[in-house]
Structure 1
Amino acid sequence: MSTRILPAVGDADAARSITTLLSQLPDAEPAGPLGDSTALLDTLARLAAESLDELPEVVLVHERIGPVPALELIREVALRFPAVGVVLVTADASPGLYSAAMDSGARGLVGLPLSYEELAQRVQAAAGWSVGVRRHLGAGAEVFTGPGGTVVTVSGAKGGVGATVAAVQLALAAQASGHTVALVDMDLQSGDIASFLDVQFRRSIVDLAAISDISPRVLADAVFSHGSGLALLLAPGEGERGEEVSDRSARQIVSALRSRYEIVVIDCGSQMNGANAAAIEMADVALLVTTPDVVAVRGAKRIVRMWDRLQIRKAEETTTLVNRYSRNTEIQPPLIQKITGTRIAGTAIPANFKELQGAVDAGRMHELDSKSVVKQALWALAGELGLVKVPAGAEGSGKYKNDRGSIGRSRRRGDSAGRGKTD
């Protein structure tokens, strides 16, 4: 049986060297090298969505891969694709790095400069391990080995544009349709999800920041089970503690949530830091909320450009939601699309804060009247983003049908246009 090998190498010279050696291995089917961590994760997710059997047995991760550091990338692959054997290629073969690589989920380490014998030995061992895992998983059809849950980040072009309301209602819509849903407050200094849902809970996302291996039990201890059915991971009560959540810990937290919940909605607020930048980079759907006014649209443009400069996310991979929309405003969705270079959600949220005010003041956003046009628009947006389960036989009904198709898994799908709004 041949061994499928997928190398992830950020350095062109190293890629040529690895490719040459891999082509000489017996019974090996090496794929073309991928140049960055995003391409690797997207490729594995696409293959896993088709079938477990489509995944390569071995993934080689070069030490100079980016933008996600090699050890963090190995941890992500091990969490999301447990049937893939990962081998680290590095010039540092010290016991310390070997231990760190094994802790991250690697199945072996190959030193640089490359040796044919060592590479063959490590690839063979990782492939054998992968085959054994797949044989075990094949005995239990209920074991989930796909790309993990869908992660949606919601960011504000500036403060007060309605990102938190949007995040809460998207999560509620997904939960009401039958999904398991986690709602995360990653507005670390000034998160308000607890206030919007009338929650008093001592634990927060900070409790997970220093934990290197987040087990299901550890995660469950940090999550609050809300009466609506949502699992809440809240921002710290003391805003200064938000600095304890690094980009590395944020990646681990998001990966752990993705492995336990079908939908993970993350409120990133309007201020960028390392933690929410990591979440936005990992997201399947990155939603940017703006209102149709000059200040907010300028803010949206500034954020999109910053994400692009920092290689967090490209403009075309971002979906902009127009909130507090009115046909009478001078700035309309097509203009916002042109200014930001992003896709515009087909659903816009109408301006009607009066119907929200009572629920906001009472901290009962989960009890917002179903007749609310704001709620109806946000739940329609959830359907547009692919966050709502479609009942059997209802695929063609107007209630669930979106004439532009789902924006879910936005790096592979999506479109634009605009009409509606919220706070």
Structure 2
Amino acid sequence: MPTRILPAVGDADAVRSLTTLLSQLPDAEPVAPVVDSTQLVDTLARLAAESVDELPEVVVVHERIGPVPALELIREVALRFPAVGVILVTSDAGPGLFQAAMDYGARGLVALPINYEELASRVQAVAQWSVGVRRHLGAGIEVYSGGVGGTVVTVSGAKGGVGTTLTAIQLALAAQASGRTAALVDMDLQAGDIASYLDIQFRRSVADLATITDISPRVLADAVFRHDTGVALLLAPGEGERGEEVTDRAARQIVTALRSRYEVVVVDCGAQMSGASAAVVEMADTALLVTTPDVVAVRGAKRTVRMWDRLQIRKAEETTVVVNRHTRGAEIQPALIQKITGTGVAATAIPANWKELQGAVDAGRVHELDSKGAVKQAMWGLAGELGLVKAPEGAQKHAKFRGDRGAVSFRRRG
């Protein structure tokens, strides 16, 4: 059986050189290369959704892949697709990088310029390892490929006060209540206050994981606060200045660790962008941007979308705007917001009803919102639209969806 090899290379010249060599290997079947980290993970997730057997045996990651650094990308692939062997191609083949690559989950390292014999030897060894893992684990292999299991959803605000935190909390609660395991992360590192919304006292925070390079399940469990609803909480530090300890690299590692343990991970990114929140938005399966239907908030949403696009964090068409405090009589309606921002807009708009929320927010009991209330129903409906809620058996085949991204319904341009 030929060895399927997926190259992940961002440089055009390196792509041609590597694919030429791979095509010359005996019993090798190179597949179409991917050009960045997002495309690699999306490709593997799509193949895994069909069957673990559809995954390539070997992935070759070039050191200049982006936007996620090569080592962090290798860690994510190793965690989410444990039966795929990863080889790092690098100009630094010293013992320090070799050890780091192995620690991050690589199965081999090939030095630049590439030597044919060395490449052939590494590919053969890694392919044999991958086949052995699949044979040994069989149907027991778990793949966290986004969608069902390991889905990361970020919730950002067009500006402060638009309802970002409340939306994030309700999405996590809805997922947990439906039978999924859910984690809620407060990545609004200086100003985040999920703890007040849920009236809890906590000792550990996301900052306590910032300097840990290998986040084991036990270390993660020690940092997480288990809420009475069952949702796992990883909270922002009580001292805002500690938020600077959480770098973009640390944020990726933390969210990747959570993704490997929970079916749904909801991240509250607040309204102010940091390196950490930008990294999580970039790696998310779904990125939500909450706005209210007023000029200031919509302008803020437009600025955020354009900034994400300029910084190559997220394309406009890959961002979903959620309209909060919506009223039918408002001059600014979702269709206009869609046109202004150039994004998708969630089909579910959250109605304006502060009276329904005030008591629960003031008491720190937003997990006890009235189930018959329009706001809670809309937010939990949004969770269903995003595919975060486990549907009752037999219900899925009768569901009707609008849009073109799985269980997510969007109003799109044109």
1:142–1:83 distance in 2 versus 1, CA, 3 Å: closer
The residue number in structure 1 matching 2:329 is 328
- C-alpha deviation, 1:243, in angstroms: 0.6
Match of 1:4, SS? Answer: strand
Q: CA deviation at 1:97?
A: 1.0
Amino acid across the alignment from 2:3: T
Following superposition, the deviation at residue 415 of structure 1 comes to: 2.3
Alpha-carbon distance in 1 for matches of 2:61, 2:401: 40
**Partner in structure 1 of residue 317 of structure 2:** 316
CA contact (8 A) 2:144 2:260 kept: no
Contact 1:289–1:321 (8 Å) recurs in 2: yes
1:17 aligns with 2:2: no
3-state SS of the aligned residue for 1:349? Answer: coil
Distance 1:227 1:408, change over 3 A: farther
SS of the counterpart of 1:321? strand
User: Secondary structure of the equivalent of 2:340?
Assistant: helix
Q: Is 1:28 aligned with 2:28?
A: yes
The secondary structure found in structure 1 opposite 2:324 is strand
Output the CA distance in 2 between the equivalents of 1:64 and 1:215.
28
Structure-2 residue corresponding to 1:421? none
TM superposition shift of 1:19: 0.8
1:254-275 Cα shifts (integer Å, max 9, x gaps): 1111111011111000000111
SS of structure 2 residue aligned to 1:260: coil
Q: How has the CA–CA distance of structure 1 residues 204 and 408 changed in structure 2, closer, same or farther, with 3 Å as cutoff?
A: farther
The one-letter amino acid of 1:156's match is G
The answer for the alignment partner of 2:354 in structure 1 is 353
Counterpart position of 1:76: 76
Alignment-derived partner of residue 174 in structure 2: 173
Q: Name the amino acid aligned to 1:134.
A: R
What is the one-letter code of the residue matched to 1:296?
A: A
Aligned-partner residue type, residue 234 of structure 1? L
CA distance in 1, matches of 2:349, 2:206: 31
Q: CA deviation at 1:408?
A: 5.8
Is it true that 1:295 corresponds to 2:293 in the alignment? no
- Residue number in structure 2 paired with 1:144: 142
After the TM superposition, which parts of structure 1 deviate over 6 Å for at least 4 consecutive aligned residues?
A: none
| SS of residue matched to 1:92 | coil
Alignment of 1:6-405 (within 5 A): 6-138=6-138, 141-147=139-145, 148-395=149-396, 401-404=399-402
Q: Distance in 2 between matches of 1:100 and 1:396?
A: 46
The TM-score with structure 2 as length reference comes to 0.96
Contact 2:209 2:223 in 1 (8 A): yes
Change (3 A) 1:106 1:403: closer
Q: In 2, Cα distance between the equivalents of 1:272 and 1:134?
A: 41
Paired-residue identity, %? 78
Contact 2:289–2:322, Cα closer than 8 Å, also in 1: yes
State the AA in 1 paired with 2:67: P
Whether the 8 Å contact between 2:205 and 2:235 is mirrored in structure 1 is: yes
CA distance in 2, matches of 1:294, 1:402: 33
In structure 2, what is the Cα distance between the partners aligned to 1:406 and 1:34? 22
Matched, 1:415 2:413: no
Residue identity in the other structure for 2:143: T
Residues 355-379 of structure 1: CA deviation (Å, up to 9, x unaligned): 1010000000001111211001101
For the structure 1 residues 106 and 417, does the alpha-carbon distance in structure 2 shift closer, same or farther, using more than 3 Å as the test? closer
The C-alpha deviation readout for 1:261-317, integer Å capped at 9, x for no partner, is 011111000000111111111111111000000000000000000000111110001
Q: Is contact 2:325–2:353 with CA below 8 Å preserved after alignment?
A: yes
Unaligned 5+ segments in structure 2 are none
The CA deviation at 1:146 is 3.9
Which amino acid in structure 1 is aligned with residue 402 of structure 2?
R
**1: CA distance, partners of 2:307 / 2:395:** 41
Say if 1:414 and 1:114 are closer, same or farther in 2 by CA, change over 3 A.
farther
State the SS of the aligned residue for 1:237: coil
Letter in 1 for 2:142: F
SS of the aligned residue for 1:19 comes to: helix
SS at match of 1:347: coil
Cα distance in 2 for partners of 1:394, 1:45 equals: 24
Note the C-alpha offset of 1:394: 2.5
Contact residue 182 and residue 230 of structure 1 kept, 8 A: yes
